[in-house]
Structure 1
Amino acid sequence: MSLKVTKPIVSVNWLQKNLENKNLIILDCTIPKVTEKSNTHNSDEKLQVKGALFFDIKNIFSDTTAPFPNTILTPKEFEVKAQEIGVYKDSIIVCYDDLGIYSSPRVWWMFQLMGFTNVAVLDGGFPKWNENKFPVENQKKKDHLKGDFEVNYQPEKIKFKEDVLTAIKNKTILIVDARSKGRFNSAEPEPRNDVKGGHIPNSVSLPFNEVLENGTFKTEAVLKEIFKKINPKKKSFIFSCGTGITASVLALGAEISGIKNYAVYDGSWTEWGSIENLPIEI
């Protein structure tokens, strides 16, 4: 029987214990922050968790023809590309990134969206793994067999511009923005010059780093209090951010808290702040 994850995050100790499991697929989901110029995963010197595969969010697992960054693939495209990297129906996937918790929850959410639930994020990511002196290797391409992964698309986990427009006036839905408070209030400039400042009307601010501590998620009890404080009436959540990356951090935090009624706005603020005639609050 294939190994199963019982929670959406796993510890570095758990991963080290199960490192040789034949069904395990470890995905290095690192992307540079939008404010950073360097692209660390291109370096020949880059280290990774032993046995990891590089999961290219930007160039392979996003629609590169779309007008906005990190646009999700169609279910069929995702299925084909997941098969190409060797994902099977009975795989167990662990996602991590070089920043602790940043882009790996996006990949966790992608697989959730595609109906694959035997997936978790490595809490603390590569920094925590390396700190414990667990096995690492230089990043390298690996040959692998084509997998038999199948998509079981879960459309309730994703929202689009039209959904958000409707949600603004829906008192049973809460839109939560994972960007910094400065960007939310237009006190800080957006990293992309062609994107307006401000936020979606009736949304609230919860910067993604407020659910983290030293590169790992805060405890389940603390996370429950955070989400209860901003949403005492238990409305459904729509999580937004800049391009859908850190919104997924909040989605994972909600999942850890036992919350199920949430979705990610795929276009997020880069789409909203780029389109004319959409309502904006400052």
Structure 2
Amino acid sequence: KTAQIVDARPAARFNAQADEPRPGLRRGHIPGALNVPWTELVYEGELKTTDELNEVFFSHGVSFDRPIIASCGSGVTAAVVVLALATLDVPDVTLYDGAWSEWGARTDLPVEPT
């Protein structure tokens, strides 16, 4: 099964419409990644209900029957994605701790949109 990359950054950064806060990083995202902004998973400092979490992931095209790699800008907010998926008992979830700060700094790696 092909893994899905779930990027927890705000949509504007994911879609290359806003600069990254770290100097020297390109705009955009890892090709094929799905954007699930971490802020959509919480309400008033707590995770949303399991029904709400399921709806958020479903609305962004995330499939729970394929491996998931969570990413973000620096590996921190992707942990919210991992926690939400663990709450839903989703198996095969990992965190890419290099995140966009690693991928976006490397000019030898592809980026969308180009």
Give the structure-1-normalised TM-score: 0.38
Shift of 1:276: 1.8
- Unmatched runs of 5 consecutive residues or more in structure 2: none
Tell me the equivalent position of 2:77: 246
Tell me the equivalent position of 2:99: 268
Contact 2:36 2:57 in 1 (8 A): no
Distance 1:233 1:220, change over 3 A: closer
Does residue 1:224 correspond to 2:54, yes or no? yes
The one-letter amino acid paired with 1:184 is F
Does residue 1:203 correspond to 2:33, yes or no? yes
Q: C-alpha root-mean-square deviation of aligned residues, in Å?
A: 1.4
The one-letter amino acid paired with 1:234 is D
CA distance in 1, matches of 2:67, 2:20: 27
CA distance in 1, matches of 2:100, 2:16: 12
Shift of 1:221: 1.8
Shift of 1:225: 2.5
Contact 1:221 1:257 in 2 (8 A): no
CA distance in 1, matches of 2:14, 2:108: 18
Tell me the equivalent position of 1:186: 16
Shift of 1:233: 6.3
Q: Which has the higher contact order (CA 8 A, sep 6+)?
A: 2
**Corresponding residue SS for 1:238:** strand
Shift of 1:227: 2.4
CA distance in 2, matches of 1:276, 1:197: 12
Name segments (4+ residues, structure 1) moved above 6 Å.
Answer: none
Contact 1:227 1:254 in 2 (8 A): no
Query: Share of identical aligned residues, percent?
Result: 39
1:43-62 to 2 correspondences below 5 Å: none
CA distance in 1, matches of 2:89, 2:64: 15
- Unmatched runs of 5 consecutive residues or more in structure 1: 1-170
Which is higher, the Rg of structure 1 or of structure 2? 1
